[in-house]
Amino acid sequence: MVKRRRQEILIEMQKMIYLDHNATTPLSQKVIDQIPSILQAWGNPSSIHWSGREPKNLIRNARQVLATALKVSPLEIIFNSGASEGNSAVILGIYEIFKNSKNHFMCSQVEHPSVLKAFQHIEKLGARVDYIPVSRKGELDLNFFKKHISSNTALVSVMMANNETGNIFPIAELVKMTHAVGALFHSDCVQVLGKIPLNLSELNVDYATLSAHKFYSLKGTGALFVRKNSPYQKFIFGGGQERSRRGGTENTLGIASFGVMANLLDQVVFRQKELAQLRDHMEARILLEIDGVSLTGNQSARLPNTSSMVLRDIDGETLLMSLDLKGFAVSTGAACSSGSPEPSPVLLAMGLSRAEAQSSLRISLGWETNLGQIDFFINILKEVVLRLRNISQKTNMKELSLMREQSL
């Protein structure tokens, strides 16, 4: 009996283990269970006959639930295709509205590419953008912010939490200073949902972007919060959907699934504690059992699920691939572009060297992660790191003796 149970546990553990929740999350079973009934509501939510009623109700309900959880009005939520759309809509829209009066913008140096590239785009159109630096600890340079913000600033955009390090920025404080000069404030809150409580009313931001697939729902759906009376310029023309702020027949399945998860946002305080305990246990074991590991961003406020680290003498891409072969999904601070791994701009902006960024690993836990998975992961990580370091040592020795031979 005991032997069978042990075997079952081993089989269970050998399954794929997903530790990359900041990239995307698995679909919640709650969402999967609801999908068949949501699909029954196939009508066009704008139709006024019977087929439109159910999808319209589903969307209305999702909007209400999400708005209540975020402490805002349902009228302030625009459903869209995701956070990249939301970020572009705000940045390009505000540029367009203010281009003849205020042309200064600010964002942090560690924003997601959907924010950074939108700012680079408006720079080409004539905007002036200041990129706020972050320290090695992951803290925003508030002196830089105070020095550069002015009455000519149209919009400040700072993410609430960083996707790579999990570092949390002081949004409420930044909003106060931004509003004091008459500028607007946008925050990419994608990484926050489901990890720490999010109260948009308290933060007092003008705009916030969210993405359903980072919160156990479907890809291709997001929500943009636009505070009542904050200027907004629509860029998708069409029908009168989303109170004429975004044209296009609504994605009923995506929106209703997002609503299913929004119903669970009251669990966040409890989940936050659970995630932090697991993450802290994982980091403590890794630091104790693997040589040459240093954590990134751990000395500042962080999301409870995210751990970013540098592993000395380890190539992040090789580590990721080796772990993948063993069934683990994690992420590295280097992304392969055109054949050569490019170090993460976020880690470089924090002052890490190229070599450090290329030796980095991001582990991001989720609601379904458990202690057994974490302990199993660490055991394998130890083995893999040891093996890779041995290989690189042997390769270096070989290279060294080859060089010696050649110099003789």
Restricted to residues 162-181, the positions that interact with ligand PLP (CB under 6 A) are 163
* Positions 134 through 163 that interact with ligand PLP (CB under 6 A): 159, 163
Instruction: Tell me phi and psi for residue 17, to 5 degrees.
Output: -120, 125
Q: Which of 172, 180, 287, 336 is catalytic?
A: 336
Q: Which stretch binds ligand PLP (CB under 6 A): 47-55, 92-100, 187-195, 390-398?
A: 187-195
Crossing angle for the helix pair 268-289 and 371-407, to the nearest 10 degrees: 40
Nearest to ligand PLP of 117, 326 (CB atom): 117
CA-based nearest residue to 271, from 258, 261, 257? 261
Asked if 191 interacts with ligand PLP (CB under 6 A), we say: yes
- Least distance CB 66 / ligand PLP (angstroms): 15
Count CB neighbours of 88 within 10 A.
18
Span interacting with ligand PLP, options 186-194, 320-328, 330-338, 384-392, rule CB under 6 A? 186-194
Q: Which two tokens stand for residue 211?
A: 């993405």
Residue closer to ligand PLP by CB (options 66, 190) is 190
Least distance to ligand PLP, CB of residue 277, Å = 24
Pairing mode of beta strands 17-18, 77-80: unpaired
Residue type, 100: N
Which of 41, 357 has the CB closer to ligand PLP?
Answer: 357
For residue 110, which amino acid is it? V
Least Å from the CB of residue 316 to ligand PLP = 18
* Apex 315 CA angle, 309 and 321, nearest 5: 95
CB of 222 to ligand PLP, least distance (A): 5
- The minimum distance between CB 354 and ligand PLP, in angstroms, equals 23
Q: How far is the CB of 368 from ligand PLP (least distance, A)?
A: 19
153, β-bridge pairs: 104
Phi, psi of 344 (to 5 degrees): -65, 125
Question: Cα(63)–Cα(59) distance, rounded to whole angstroms?
Answer: 6
**Residues 69-108 as x/- pattern, contact with ligand PLP by CB under 6 A:** -------------xxx------------------------
* CB hemisphere CA count around 198 (13 angstroms): 29
Instruction: Tell me whether residue 189 is one of the annotated catalytic residues.
Output: no
Q: Which two tokens stand for residue 88?
A: 């572009």
Question: With respect to ligand PLP, which residue has the nearer C-beta, 20 or 313?
Answer: 20
Q: Work out whether 319 is an interface residue with ligand PLP (CB under 6 A).
A: no
Q: Pick from 211, 298, 364, 373 the residue near ligand PLP by CB under 6 A.
A: 211
Query: Which residues, other chains included, contact 173 with Cβ-Cβ below 8 Å and sequence gap of 6+?
Result: 142
Whether the CA torsion 281, 284, 286, 289 is positive or negative: it is: negative
Of 347-376, binders to ligand PLP (CB under 6 A) are none
The contacts found for 177-182 with CB under 8 angstroms, 24 or more apart, are 177/145, 177/146, 177/149, 178/149, 178/153, 179/204, 181/149, 181/150, 181/151, 181/153, 182/151
Q: Could you tell me the smallest distance in angstroms from the CB atom of residue 211 to ligand PLP? A: 3
| Residues in 102-121 that interact with ligand PLP by CB under 6 A | 112, 114
Nearer to ligand PLP, 114 or 298 (CB): 114
Tell me the backbone φ, ψ of residue 340, rounded to 5 degrees. -120, 135
By the rule CB under 6 A, 188 interacts with ligand PLP: yes
Note whether 135 and 179 are within 8 A (CB). no
Binding part of the chain for ligand PLP, among 2-10, 97-105, 183-191, 397-405 by CB under 6 A, reads: 183-191
Residue 383 corresponds to which tokens in the numbers above? 């083995």
Number of residues interacting with ligand PLP: please give it, by CB under 6 A: 12
**Catalytically active residues, by annotation:** 336
Residues binding ligand PLP (CB under 6 A): 82-84, 112, 114, 159, 163, 188, 190-191, 211, 222
